[in-house]
Copies of this chain bind each other. A is one copy, B any other.
Amino acid sequence: MAIIVQKFGGTSVANAEKIRRAAKRAIERMEAGYQVVVVASARGHQTDELMRDALELNPNPSKRELDQLLSTGEQQTVSLFAMALDAMGHKAISFTGGQIRMMTDGVYSKAQIVSIDSDFIRYELDKGRVVIVTGFQGIDQYGNVTTLGRDGSDTSAVALAGALRAEECEIFTDVDGIYTADPSIYKKAVVLEEISYDEMLEMASLGSGVMHTRSVAFGKRDDVRIRVRNAANDNPGTIITREVPQMEGVLVSSATIQKDMAKIGLAGLPNVPGTAAKVFARLAAAKVVVHDIMQTEISPEKANLSFMVSTANLSTATQVSEELKAELGCDGLFVRAGIALVSVIGVGMRSQYGVAEKFFDALAKAEINIDSITTSEIRISCAVDKSQAEKALEAVCLAFQLDRPARQRAAI
């Protein structure tokens, strides 16, 4: 019998009425002949409330105790969810991460899943029960509760789907799926029918919400078909799946925008091995997250190195860079704030040409100056002035026809 994993976030189980609505989703799948595993988050603002209780007693609580505390939120949801299904006439049983032996590496507050006892769940599924599992948490080898951190429940769901070889992992959320661009900026953006793991990973790393990199990476590793859909309607949502040949026909699947970026440049650095490593080690030690890095040789002895950071990290990054400038003896330090990064993503770029040209042409026609360009195998990003960010996104979306589903787009 095929298995479906369904994940419901905190807003989808915030009260009794919403829990019942979510339970109906599980029943629909049961009645369609699937075995169903539900992964649920803590109700509504419960995690925030528990955090507030903790901080009232200790401004800097131990991560172990915080995990022990916060994990109760999901535990409450799953037992309530099981009761709801029971009241609707369906057999159900709830489990904590610990009870299904979702073993983690033991790093409190951001644990990694190491293994899952899927036999345990299969045994219950085979008894005709819906199995409801706490998202966001597991235990280490000593039985300590460990939470998975940000997007933890998605990761739990995708990892379970992988371990159970589920036919699909449905992620219920408050949006209709993955859009071609942020619909709050580009009003004509449409929901993608499908997207590859790699594209989704690029989007996630560019801060384009909905799914985070870790859960997508799990999906890619275990080849889990993920469906992102809206808990409030019956739209099919977006399927995140492995790359298939026809995806290459679609040049660009989406465009993203990252505002509040800044660029730091170290000009005339000594062009010797280890210089870049030293720079980024120091930035990492200062907990600065570095985005796109560009380095160009300007002479056999000198190179220019620049990188992007978010505005939030700018002052720390600047300070570290000033120290580095003195230490390494470079010619100058340039800081440019107020930058936005506009990117297009598509696996089709791997095999087809003309994407970069079309991208730059679109920006040129819109009279937007490009500060710098970076690329990956399936992504091209341009740094533009922040004031022109939205205009740039619109121009790009128009050029790549991101206002319509992939199938309806004209050839480039």
Contacts and interface: CB of A to CB of B under 8 A. Distances in A.
A195 interface: no
B65 A143 contact: no
B76 A62 contact: no
Nearest to A139: B99
Contact of A94 (B56, B60, B68, B87): B68
A245 interface: no
Interface centre among A16, A54, A59, A65 (most CB of B within 10 A): A65
A84 interface: yes
Contacts of A203: none
A20 B83 contact: no
Q: Quick one: copies of this chain in the complex?
A: 2
A53 B82 CA distance: 13
A267 to B, nearest CB: 48
Interface in A38-66: 50, 53-54, 56-62, 64-66
A313 interface: no
A72 B68 contact: no
A59 B78 CA distance: 17
Given A16-B56, A98-B98, A69 B62 contact: no
Given A16-B53, A99-B143, A79 B68 contact: yes
Interface of A: 16, 19-20, 50, 53-54, 56-62, 64-66, 68-69, 71-72, 75-76, 78-80, 82-84, 86-87, 93-94, 96, 98-99, 143-144
Contacts of A83: 54, 57-58, 61-62, 65-66, 69
A75 B72 contact: yes
17 contacts: A53-B76, A54-B79, A54-B83, A57-B83, A58-B84, A58-B86, A64-B93, A65-B82, A65-B83, A65-B86, A65-B94, A69-B75, A69-B79, A75-B75, A98-B98, A98-B143, A99-B144
Given A86-B62, A87-B57, A80 B75 contact: no
Contacts of A56: 16
Contacts of A96: 68
B76 A58 contact: no
A79 B94 contact: no
Interface centre among A19, A57, A72, A94 (most CB of B within 10 A): A57
Nearest to A60: B87
A217 to B, nearest CB: 29
Nearest to A77: B69
B57 A19 contact: yes
A80 B66 CA distance: 8
A122 to B, nearest CB: 15
Given A58-B86, A98-B143, A80 B53 contact: yes
